[in-house]
Chain A
Amino acid sequence: MSKYAFFVGCTIPYRVPFIETSLRKTLPIFDVELVDLPFACCPDPGGVQAFDSVAWHTLGARNLCLAEEEGLDILTACSGCFESLKIINTHLKNDPDLKSKVNEHLKDVDREFKGTIKINHFAEFLYTEIGIDKIAQKVTNPLSGIKIASHNGCHFLKPTDIMQVDNPELPQKLDHLLEALGAETVPYLNKLACCGAGTRTTDMDAALKIAHEKIVGAELANADALVTVCPTCYVSYDIGQRLMTKHFEKTTLPVFFYAELLGLAIGLDFSAGFKMHTIKVQEVLDKLTA
């Protein structure tokens, strides 16, 4: 068992908790133990960073300190948290001025950033630490017969020089992870497009239009489902599709979080969670068992 500080974030537990279930159930199967720590918001790479960059670094560094003090690397499943924590961790490690500024503030709460841990995103973690082969070995119910449009999202990949997860113009790891489950991935238009969540607080309509592009692309490619590795992207597309009806014709493209499909393929039962999806997923599930 390898132990990780589980950075669950804000969106997963209180907006899409079934995603949390999928993570808490699948990861232990790959000998990963998740430890919960009293983390606060990562904080939000959009809002808080935009509000005050130094405050963002400081609040983020506090989270890093909690894990550092436990001697644990962080594992997160939210690309926003991943981005914040990894950028802050990298910046503080490389920029001594910023580090001393932040540590000056942290002194007030008796903490100090040291720079001793690594930040992992679960999808990247599955790909590099667990490995495609090991995942494929565990598959009992291969997801054959469905076509999947994979959505990497922005913060999983960018800013590239810091995230260093995959080629931002031709990401392939997620497709490989899906193919390991026996699914077929399809190329589609707007594969690299953003989910628009960052614009939500400013202009919900604009955000929905951005998200809609992706649904169009995936439908054009006859995809049965869209798969994300970030809860925020998930929300943009799942709940988003219902809100989009205000501007566009109704669409019903099922959206999954990668760990949900992983669980399905290795034989776990997530039916309670699937019922909580806004866009019904039954059709896809039927196709799989057919």
Chain B
Amino acid sequence: MTLTTELKEEFKDLYDKVKLCYQCGTCAGGCPVFKQYSSFNPRRVMEKLLAGDISAEIFDEQQIWYCTGCYTCSTRCPQGIDICHVINDMKNIAVKIKNAPPGIITEMTAILETGITAAKSTSALRKRDKLELPEIPPPDMTEIQKLMEVTGVIAKLNALKEDAK
């Protein structure tokens, strides 16, 4: 996988955000994922960015999608690097190069169709009845869809779906 010039620029921005990293491992040492699943190591992700590794291998392995987004690493990094945020930026790039896990496609599709992520299953509605909970006013779907269109979400989502076929 090769990156376009635009994405290389974004990559450069990421390098600037992590250039003070001295590979101390504080991020990894507190990362809930790394503790259980040693193939995902935020320090190694930083290392690849530092090395200017823009071969997109980082994206191919889909490792970054393991990050839970808990900000534990960002809170503790002695060099003040917002690792969690950097990884999120990387995920944004991964989506652009169509490298997102199926779960994310499902979630985005759900929002596009219903405005929310959790399905209004019959069992859920039955429970609500039993608990005598009021109906939640539904969101205006034309608005949601319009926003997802103008922000380019729909186009990206279609590209991903196309790719998955």
**A–B contact (CB under 8 angstroms):** yes
Q: A: which residues have CB within 8 A of B?
A: 8, 10-11, 13-15, 17-18, 20-21, 24, 36-41, 43-55, 58-59, 62, 105-106, 108-109, 154-155, 158-160, 168-169, 192-194, 196-203, 206-207, 209-210, 213, 272-273, 276
Known A14-B121, A48-B108, A52-B152; judge A109-B72 contact (CB<8 A).
no
Is A48 touching B111 in the complex (CB atoms < 8 A)?
yes
B71, B89, B91, B95 pick with most chain A CB within 10 angstroms: B71
Known A199-B68, A203-B37; judge A105-B147 contact (CB<8 A).
yes
Known A11-B118, A17-B124; judge A159-B71 contact (CB<8 A).
yes
Q: A50-B88, A154-B68 are in contact. List 18 more A-B contacts (CB 8 A).
A: A13-B136, A17-B131, A17-B133, A18-B131, A36-B136, A38-B137, A40-B144, A51-B91, A51-B92, A51-B108, A52-B153, A59-B151, A105-B150, A194-B72, A199-B33, A200-B103, A202-B65, A210-B33
Name the one of A43, A45, A51 contacting B69, with C-beta atoms under 8 angstroms: A45
Is A209 touching B144 in the complex (CB atoms < 8 A)?
no
Interface of A is mostly: helix
Is B127 touching A276 in the complex (CB atoms < 8 A)?
yes
Closest to B76 in A: A169
Closest to A15 in B: B118
Is A209 touching B37 in the complex (CB atoms < 8 A)?
yes
Is B124 touching A108 in the complex (CB atoms < 8 A)?
no
Q: Which residues of chain A come closer than 8 Å to B62, judged between CB atoms? A: 202
Q: Which residues of chain B come closer than 8 Å to A43, judged between CB atoms? A: 111, 117
Q: Which residues of chain B come closer than 8 Å to A15, judged between CB atoms? A: 118, 124
| CA A213 to CA B75, docked complex, whole Å | 21
| CA A207 to CA B33, docked complex, whole Å | 8
Q: Which residues of chain B come closer than 8 Å to A58, judged between CB atoms? A: 147, 150-151
Chain B interface size band reads 35 or more
Q: Which residues of chain B come closer than 8 Å to A200, judged between CB atoms? A: 103
B32, B88, B89, B108 pick with most chain A CB within 10 angstroms: B32
Q: How far apart are A197's CB and chain B's nearest CB, in angstroms?
A: 7
Is B91 touching A168 in the complex (CB atoms < 8 A)?
no
Q: How far apart are A5's CB and chain B's nearest CB, in angstroms?
A: 11
Is A20 touching B133 in the complex (CB atoms < 8 A)?
yes
Closest to A202 in B: B65
Is A193 touching B101 in the complex (CB atoms < 8 A)?
no
Is B134 touching A196 in the complex (CB atoms < 8 A)?
no
Q: How far apart are A180's CB and chain B's nearest CB, in angstroms?
A: 26
Name the one of A39, A53, A193, A202 contacting B66, with C-beta atoms under 8 angstroms: A202
| CA A59 to CA B119, docked complex, whole Å | 19
Known A41-B117, A52-B151, A206-B37; judge A21-B104 contact (CB<8 A).
no
Name the one of A17, A21, A108, A154 contacting B147, with C-beta atoms under 8 angstroms: A108
Known A52-B152, A55-B153; judge A13-B70 contact (CB<8 A).
no
Q: Mark B30-65, 1 if CB is under 8 A from A, else 0.
A: 001101110000000000000000000000001001
Known A10-B117, A159-B84; judge A50-B92 contact (CB<8 A).
yes
Is B120 among interface residues, defined by CB-CB distance under 8 A?
A: yes
Is B143 among interface residues, defined by CB-CB distance under 8 A?
A: yes
